[in-house]
């Protein structure tokens, strides 16, 4: 006997799905049978990823959306519901990072992180609830970070935005639990995506070392001894988006190989 997650018939949206973790989440949800809308500000990347999923037999399509724009987020959700009739799973995931000493973080860098990482998630939650509340079901799985559980030096603005996502998760989960909607977030560890290339570039620019050596030092600190993969992250989201997780609400699931001894 085996236990498999089956999301056949479910409709999902993943933001920031044109690359990195978003693409990994979209692939895992599609593999479990869901129809997945891959949303990104970079439509070409989202289309490339959705084509990959379709060529592997999954159900997917691309949507252009800017998560910093409330009207764009509502239009994205309306488009998906118009096309597929409902929304079961919302995965706000798009994000960015400016790393380095706090003095090197400009007001613009700060605003950008808060707008994409936190306000973008807030808009996605509101737009999803427009449909999930009346249908009395839904799963919202946001992408926080282990830096949303433990404050990380040189990532002050990023940590602040991710602590915000954790708080948003916990507060909204309590508001909508009676509507049969579960709201959780994930805390990925370290995956070498475009965001990490940017972080390493910022750290090198701050004179803190050389990119590959810095990256190796971060990986060496992971108890499991390896970096995480987009699939590790996608599998965790698939679990939280399934009915196996129906009594898990308002939590952060760390996928970080045991790093930080997070409380
Ligand atoms: N990579 C890691 O180690 C790691 C660890 C913890 C958390 N995370 C989080 O995972 C999420 C995805 O990051 P990633 O590592 O895949 O980075 P990534 O840079 O590869 O992907 C980010 C995606 O978001 C999209 N995006 C950026 N701004 C957008 C906007 N305004 N509207 C819509 N889409 C937008 C980009 O086009 C890109 O496709 C982020 O929230 C990040 O903070 C990543």
Catalytic residue status for 123: no
Q: Residue 230 pLDDT > 80, yes or no?
A: yes
pLDDT for residue 89? 99
pLDDT(123) > 70? yes
Q: Which of 42, 44, 73, 95 to mutate to test the pocket of ligand 1 (most atoms within 8 A of CB)?
A: 95
pLDDT tens-digit series, residues 232-252: 999 999 999 999 999 999 999
Mean pLDDT value of segment 31-44: 98
CA dihedral 162, 245, 171, 230 (to 10 degrees): 10
- d(CA 6, ligand 1 centre) in Å: 26
DSSP assigned state of 154: T
Instruction: Give the number of the atom of ligand 1 that is nearest the alpha carbon of residue 68.
Output: 31
* Structure confidence at residue 124 (pLDDT): 99
Give me the chain's average pLDDT, please: 96
Angle, CA 14 vertex, CA 10 and CA 15 arms, to 5°: 155
Please give the distance, rounded to the nearest whole angstrom, from the Cα atom of residue 44 to the centre of ligand 1: 16
User: Is pTM, for the whole model, over 0.75?
Assistant: yes
Separation CA 38–CA 186 (nearest Å): 18
Mean pLDDT of 129-146: 98
Quote the percentage of the chain above a pLDDT of 70: 98
Q: How far is CA 106 from CA 147, 156, 251, in A?
A: 20, 12, 32
Q: What is the pLDDT of residues 43-78, one digit of tens each?
A: 999 999 999 999 999 999 999 999 999 999 999 999
- Under 8 Å CB-to-CB from 231, ≥6 apart: which residues? 24, 27, 28
Q: Hey, whose CA ends up nearest to atom 23 of ligand 1? A: 16
Handedness of CA 149, 151, 155, 157 (dihedral sign): positive
Which residue in 189, 197, 195 sits closest to 232, CA to CA? Answer: 189
Q: For each of the domains in the chain, give its residue range(s) and CATH number, in order of start.
A: 11-191+230-257 (3.40.50.720)
Question: How far away, in angstroms, is 16 Cα from ligand 1 center?
Answer: 6
Span 147-162, average pLDDT: 96
pLDDT tens, position by position, 198-219: 999 999 999 999 999 999 999 9
Distance CA 206, CA 203 (A): 5
């Amino acid at each position: 006997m085996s236990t498999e997650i089956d999301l056949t018939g479910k409709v999902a949206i993943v933001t920031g799905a044109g690359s990195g973790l978003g693409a990994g989440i979209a692939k895992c949800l599609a593999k479990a049978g869901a129809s997945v809308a891959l949303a990104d500000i970079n439509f070409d990347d989202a289309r490339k990823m959705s084509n990959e999923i379709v060529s592997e037999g999954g159900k997917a399509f691309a949507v252009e959306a800017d998560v910093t724009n409330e009207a764009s987020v509502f239009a994205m959700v309306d488009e998906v519901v118009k096309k597929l009739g409902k929304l079961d799973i919302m995965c706000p995931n798009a994000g960015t990072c400016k790393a380095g000493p706090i003095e090197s973080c400009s007001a613009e860098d700060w605003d950008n992180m808060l707008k994409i990482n936190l306000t973008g998630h807030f808009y996605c939650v509101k737009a999803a609830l427009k449909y999930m509340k009346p249908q009395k079901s839904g799963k919202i799985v946001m992408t926080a970070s282990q830096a949303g559980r433990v404050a990380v030096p040189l990532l002050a603005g990023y940590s602040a935005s991710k602590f915000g996502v954790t708080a948003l998760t916990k507060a909204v989960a309590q508001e909508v639990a009676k509507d049969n909607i579960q709201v959780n977030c994930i805390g990925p560890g370290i995956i070498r995506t475009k965001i990490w290339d940017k972080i390493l570039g910022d750290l090198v620019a701050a004179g803190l070392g050389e990119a590959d050596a810095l990256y190796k030092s971060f990986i060496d600190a992971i108890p499991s001894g390896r970096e995480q993969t987009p699939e590790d992250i996608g599998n965790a989201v698939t679990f939280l988006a399934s009915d196996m997780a129906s009594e898990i609400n308002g939590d952060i699931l760390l996928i970080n190989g045991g790093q930080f001894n997070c409380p």
